Structure 1
């Protein structure tokens, strides 16, 4: 008798949890494991889905994990900017000899009223800010280090959890998840006297309120462009991802 498929989802996006719930509902015969890196102390986990927290030890460790646990299909649903994890996923799938695809949600596109300046990387985002600016850095704690070289700035940072270590430079810290309400995001920007928004083009509905709030307030947005897409199949929507996961090997 053929063994049931075993799907490993590398999470890190809201879509990963949605996809896990849909797969659990539509194909309960498929063994499913959702893996999260553990950057957030209390992530929102989908009910009824087996979850693991933490890294694997690079591509070789991930390949070993998949071989030892009998994983038959790997879907990378990590953040669009998680270049290292996506690279490891591709190499691990090759080493383990299993199919792998990447889910990538569509990037945001500018509309009338947006004041975007698209830049290639964090350093160019930092250098694009005028002297004395008060930017809102919606970047995550692991991406703020380059801004320590701009002591003329008065940045405001938002992080989901309070940092365990002191910030690497003087800044105002806002803790908590981004609001999906445009008015709430706009009020936050007004309250802190924000002059610029700095963020990555992550795409998706959940993080878009800050973009719309900046538009409403006519704030310039320094937008870091996406990295090159990984090799292999790219799935652009949840239906395509679910179809790939449930199709015969």
Structure 2
């Protein structure tokens, strides 16, 4: 039987993989952000109901391989994927994007969560948040001496002490220069997402001598195979597809070699 793939996504890397899937494969999204309309695979939007619900879906849909290409900070989804694969008796592969590493001139200060972040943030006046949606639930607690700029996928009205920018990467160095100059940031708050799409903010912070409060990555579960790059994962999927094609050829139909 041809292996049917369930791809868990929501990132640019996942979209690149989804464009190489087959018509019987499924690309699953939580529902945030835009959904591409030109994908060759099936698209599913919404949750599964935890690891047990995902395992039931894997069995019902006859999925033979789950590929976790979610964000490095989507720890709960990754944990559910690994457990569901074990429950269903199938393999789980994961794209584990390499984190950014500090360079000469960087002033990175690692923090482990929101409470620790607030303590580190207190001396600053004009922070630039690039953590996604999390700061939106704290807009009513902004200290009087601070004005926040929050960039995330969703549009949001903000308030008198915060501006919310709805935008999706990749972000250019020129665009980040202009934004930093306009908003006069004195600190950047970031997840260590890795990849090139959102790295320009770190280059500008380095050039301007600004500190970066870097949210530490959560632990992720062990899976059957991990890949550092999208290209490596795609190459493995191509090998799997070739093996599937070979199994589909009826016995005796191959030409014997002279």
| TM bin (shorter chain) | 0.7 to 0.9
In the alignment, which of 5, 24, 27 is matched to residue 34 of structure 1? Answer: 27
Structure with greater Cα Rg:
2
Instruction: Give secondary structure in 2 for the equivalent of 1:105.
Output: coil
Question: What is the TM-score when the length of structure 1 is the normalising length?
Answer: 0.86
In the alignment, which of 13, 16, 19 is matched to residue 17 of structure 2? Answer: 19
Distance 2:220 2:60 in 1: 29
Q: After TM superposition, list the pairs within 5 Å mapping 1:233-244 onto structure 2.
A: 233-244=225-236
What does the per-residue CA deviation read over 1:183-232, in whole Å, with 9 as the maximum and x for residues that have no partner?
A: 21121111112111001000011111111121122211111111123212
Q: CA deviation at 1:82?
A: 0.3
Q: 2:170 matched to 1:175?
A: no
Q: 1:81 to 1:143 in 2, by over 3 A?
A: farther
Q: After TM superposition, list the pairs within 5 Å mapping 1:205-244 onto structure 2.
A: 205-232=196-223, 233-244=225-236
What does the per-residue CA deviation read over 1:82-127, in whole Å, with 9 as the maximum and x for residues that have no partner?
A: 0110111111111111111211111011112222112222322221
Alignment match, 2:101? 109
Q: After TM superposition, list the pairs within 5 Å mapping 1:1-249 onto structure 2.
A: 3-21=1-19, 23-24=20-21, 28=22, 31-40=24-33, 42-44=34-36, 47-145=39-137, 149-152=141-144, 153-163=146-156, 170-232=161-223, 233-245=225-237, 246-247=239-240
Distance 1:147 1:114 in 2: 28
Q: CA deviation at 1:161?
A: 2.3
Distance 1:131 1:149 in 2: 16
Instruction: Give secondary structure in 1 for the equivalent of 2:31.
Output: coil
Distance 2:123 2:72 in 1: 30
Once the two structures are overlaid, the 10-residue window that deviates more, 183-192 or 227-236, is 227-236
Q: Gaps (5+ residues) in structure 2?
A: 245-258
- Asked if the contact 1:17/1:46 (under 8 Å) is kept, the reply is no
Aligned length in residues: 239
Question: What is the TM-score when the length of structure 2 is the normalising length?
Answer: 0.84
Distance 2:95 2:133 in 1: 24
Q: CA deviation at 1:79?
A: 0.4
Q: Gaps (5+ residues) in structure 1?
A: none
Q: CA deviation at 1:149?
A: 4.4
Instruction: Give secondary structure in 2 for the equivalent of 1:215.
Output: helix
- Asked if the contact 1:80/1:104 (under 8 Å) is kept, the reply is yes
Distance 1:31 1:18 in 2: 17
